[in-house]
Structure 1
Amino acid sequence: MLTLTFFNHAGGAAKTSLALNTGHALAQAGLRVLLIDLDPQANLSAWLGHGLVPDEQTAFGVAVSGDARLPEPLRTHGLSLIPSNLHMALSEGQMMAQEGATLNLRYALEAVQGHYDLVLVDSPPSLGKLAVLAALAADRLVVPVPTRAKGLNGLPGVLAALNTYRRLRPELRVGLFVPTLYDSRNSHDREVLAALRAQLQPLAQPLNYRPATWNDSAGAGEPIGVFAPNSPAAQEVRALAQEIADQTGLKVTVSRG
């Protein structure tokens, strides 16, 4: 079982979109995929129609207790989902009072080894305890980076956080950097992409800025591969899912549609 956490402390980088949609593409390719939403905003959960769930259905118990087990996941669109809710934010205060609490999810996942091929964790846009919990649970991080000045300027913070996390998990590293929100018509985007290519490895092909398709998919409560399976956005998602698989050692072939 491989665990990947979609990580960037900045909001709007497309962590949720990529976790959900590449997860769906990899599930369609035959993998048993578990999504874990750790963001109190619960956007991933809401996208899949589970925006209002009790605390017992979330990872709250695991976050605050080293003895807790993950709840039984929900099933939707071929995916298993442990959703989030606003109360997840309250777990951070309890985690601060417990030494080693940020490794709780890592330990809880050991109990479901063999149940899944792939676990994808959607981390919150922060450097708080929940983001650390998400990062330390991972075998690899997937880091979306918007092709904007904000994305480029935020990279030192991401890399500094990774170095901090390695004190507890020396083997932790980035499996793939993913340029997002790319618009090739914009010279600024092209310049940022060139800078990312010069600085980062491994770097995926950029994910193009297609707000209408992405927003409509979220509004419909469906992965983009269900909502618009033949769209350019869905084709890019499948290509990215294959890149993630190739870079992290998953033995799977994702259909390009």
Structure 2
Amino acid sequence: MGRIIAIANQKGGVGKTTTAVNLSAALAARGKKTLIIDMDPQGNTTTGLGLDKNNLDKTIYEVITDEYSIQECIREELFDNLSLLPANRNLAGAEIELMTVDRMQYIVKENLKKIRDNYDFIIIDCPPALGMLTVNAMTAADTVIVPIQCEFYALDGLTQLIYTIELIQKSLNPKLTIEGVVFTMYDARTNLSLQVVENVKSYLNQNIYKTIIPRNVRLAEAPSHGLPINLYDPSSVGAESYGFLAEEVIENGGME
């Protein structure tokens, strides 16, 4: 049965989509059959994997509104071992539409049950907000990975995110846990990055990944080429870092 991991932080610009795309690709490169789900109406994961989000009629939105089955909407094997359930701006309407649906928090979970056994990992890229789409993702997930940018306001909003996760644990998904925190956009040349890492470690009683994702030009360029970093520039420090993170994630689940 596939492990379902939500990548979440309601703060934008923390490397959430970068982490979702490149962690998924690194898991796939290690022979793990991986599905990435774009749950963000901006559709950055979808474009970052080379699809034109404006020309898609089978996306996560059509799954949520029951127009198509989840099997019909998944783009299988976009790259070796890596499949995608895409998104586009239609998904923005789902927040409102879900309000009138019975058991609205469980729609994604119920759909994932149908295909979960086909994958080793299912990675969900959540939107930068704690609305109904993120609640759906966390209700479906086993664990949450929280990317944190190495900057002064890193802890802002983290308390709210942890509180939301605790609420979901109590009322919707008792098995949900925080898998870990991953630091992104680390700049070894600044004392600030080091200070942020130390502050978060002392403040958070959570697993913190040993792998720290550095600022890397190649990592920033890769989405415009529609490729994950391990295919765009396999020898870059960004590709190496996400490879290490994937290995830590695999070890976390006790998988060989």
The TM-score with structure 1 as length reference comes to: 0.91
Identity of aligned residues (%): 28
Offset of residue 52 of structure 1: 2.4
Offset of residue 69 of structure 1: 3.0
Offset of residue 53 of structure 1: 5.0
Match of 2:225 in 1: 220
Q: Partners of 2:99 and 2:130 in 1: how far apart?
A: 13
Q: Identify the range of structure 1 (55-64 vs 220-229) with the bigger mean alpha-carbon deviation.
A: 55-64
Residue pair 1:43, 1:51 contacting (<8 A) in 2 also: no
Match of 1:42 in 2: 43
- Helix, strand or coil: the match of 1:114? helix
* Off by >2 Å, runs of 4+ in structure 1: 51-56, 61-65
Taking a change above 3 Å as real, the CA distance of residues 26 and 224 of structure 1, as seen in their structure-2 partners, is: same
Q: Partners of 1:38 and 1:219 in 2: how far apart?
A: 20
Offset of residue 123 of structure 1: 0.5
Offset of residue 168 of structure 1: 1.0
AA partner of residue 77 (structure 1): F
Listed as ranges, the matches of 1:174-189 within 5 Å are: 174-189=178-193
Deviations 1:178-211 (A, max 9, x none): 011111221222111001222242101321111x
- Pairs aligned (count): 249
Q: 2:237 aligns with which of 228, 232, 239?
A: 232
Q: 1:120 aligns with which of 119, 123, 140?
A: 123
Offset of residue 150 of structure 1: 2.2
Deviations 1:20-49 (A, max 9, x none): 111111111111111110100000100112
Match of 2:150 in 1: 147
- Mark the runs of 5 or more structure 1 residues left unpaired by the alignment: 253-257
Match of 1:168 in 2: 172
Match of 1:8 in 2: 9
Residue pair 2:60, 2:73 contacting (<8 A) in 1 also: no
Residue pair 2:48, 2:223 contacting (<8 A) in 1 also: yes
Residue pair 2:180, 2:208 contacting (<8 A) in 1 also: yes
Listed as ranges, the matches of 1:204-215 within 5 Å are: 204-205=209-210, 206-210=212-216, 212-215=217-220
- Mark the runs of 5 or more structure 2 residues left unpaired by the alignment: none
- Helix, strand or coil: the match of 2:37? strand
Listed as ranges, the matches of 1:50-199 within 5 Å are: 50-53=51-54, 56-65=57-66, 69-70=69-70, 71-74=72-75, 75-78=77-80, 79-166=82-169, 167-198=171-202, 199=204
The TM-score with structure 2 as length reference comes to: 0.92
Residue pair 1:9, 1:125 contacting (<8 A) in 2 also: yes
C-alpha root-mean-square deviation of aligned residues, in Å?
1.6
